[in-house]
């Protein structure tokens, strides 16, 4: 990976002082822009981005997943992430999939990869360590992710949960080790899929929602890196209606 110059942003986000892996659970419309913006800030220079998604790209994804092209339809989303990152940063990025991570470490004398791809869903048994960004499309999936985090919450200093329903968005950010915030999240914000807003086809998502999520995730990670999240409420909840 070419040595990049971050001198214009180091008082906003300095990758040299950032050592947290970031897990993006979902590589679709909610997370796609966030992955690219966080990578561009330099987060993968001194830490590792993990991307989790078992799905393949379908034609309807092209309108909202901004860094993927029509030629990628049918690709696994994690492979599309590789293509997008290589296009932006060059093909000398250190990228491996989870199944070959041990071989990667051996072959590179334990060099840290920039990106690790997981072509699977996160379950309650998944080991997560670092910042977690959820961009999944069901409450059932969020509950699985929360169980994975809850069991070893001290390993996850920040959870950013991205939700959208048409033109209505909700971003929830908190430290899972904070017992009060964790209880609020589990009891009040992890409702069932039946209770969540169900939208008809044609009103589920649009590209500027994806772009907005990218900005907000990068902003929150910047705040966290400078110790600013502690100045906000224990649970930083931002609803927005784009109507």
Give the per-residue pLDDT at 6. Answer: 93
183-194 pLDDT tens trace = 999 999 998 877
How far apart, in whole angstroms, are the C-alpha atoms of residue 35 and residue 38? 5
8-state DSSP, 16: G
Burial class (CB in 10 A: 0-12, 13-18, 19+), 167: middle
Whether 9 maps to a domain, the answer reads no
Please give the residue range of the domain that contains residue 218: 15-241
In degrees, rounded to 5, the angle at the alpha carbon of residue 50 between the alpha carbons of residues 61 and 52 is 45
Residue with tokens 């071989």: 103
Whether 161 maps to a domain, the answer reads yes
Domain count, the chain: 1
Q: What is the mean predicted confidence (pLDDT) over 129-157? A: 95
**Out of 17-31, 94-108, 180-194, which region has the weakest mean confidence (pLDDT)?**
94-108
42-79 pLDDT tens trace = 999 889 999 999 999 888 888 887 788 888 899 999 99
> Residue 170: how many CB atoms within 10 A of its CB?
15
Whether 3 maps to a domain, the answer reads no
Whether 138 maps to a domain, the answer reads yes
How far apart, in whole angstroms, are the C-alpha atoms of residue 218 and residue 84? 18
Whether 192 maps to a domain, the answer reads yes
Whether 8 maps to a domain, the answer reads no
Whether 152 maps to a domain, the answer reads yes
**Is the pLDDT score of 199 beyond 60?**
no
CATH number of the domain at 120, please.
3.40.50.720
Give the per-residue pLDDT at 128. Answer: 96
Whether 223 maps to a domain, the answer reads yes
């Amino acid at each position: 990976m070419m040595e990049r110059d971050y001198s214009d942003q180091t008082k906003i986000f300095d990758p040299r002082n950032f050592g947290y892996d970031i897990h993006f659970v979902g590589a679709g419309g909610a997370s796609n822009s966030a992955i690219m913006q966080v990578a561009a800030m330099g987060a993968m220079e001194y830490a590792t981005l993990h991307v989790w998604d078992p799905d393949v790209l379908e034609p309807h994804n092209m309108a909202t997943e901004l860094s993927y092209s029509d030629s990628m339809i049918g690709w696994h989303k994690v492979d599309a992430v590789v293509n997008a990152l290589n296009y932006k940063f060059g093909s000398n990025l250190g990228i491996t999939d989870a199944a070959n991570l041990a071989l990667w470490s051996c072959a590179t004398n334990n060099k840290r990869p920039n990106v690790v791809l997981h072509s699977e869903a996160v379950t309650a048994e998944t080991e997560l360590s670092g910042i977690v960004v959820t961009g999944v499309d069901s409450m059932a999936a969020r509950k699985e992710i929360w169980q994975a985090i809850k069991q070893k919450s001290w390993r996850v200093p920040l959870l950013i949960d991205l939700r959208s329903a048409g033109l209505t968005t909700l971003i929830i950010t908190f430290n899972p080790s904070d017992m009060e915030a964790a209880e609020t999240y589990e009891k009040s914000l992890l409702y069932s899929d039946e209770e969540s807003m169900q939208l008809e086809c044609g009103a589920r998502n649009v590209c500027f929602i994806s772009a907005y999520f990218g900005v907000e995730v990068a902003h929150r990670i910047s705040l966290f890196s400078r110790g600013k999240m502690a100045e906000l409420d224990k649970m930083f909840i931002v609803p927005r209606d784009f109507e």
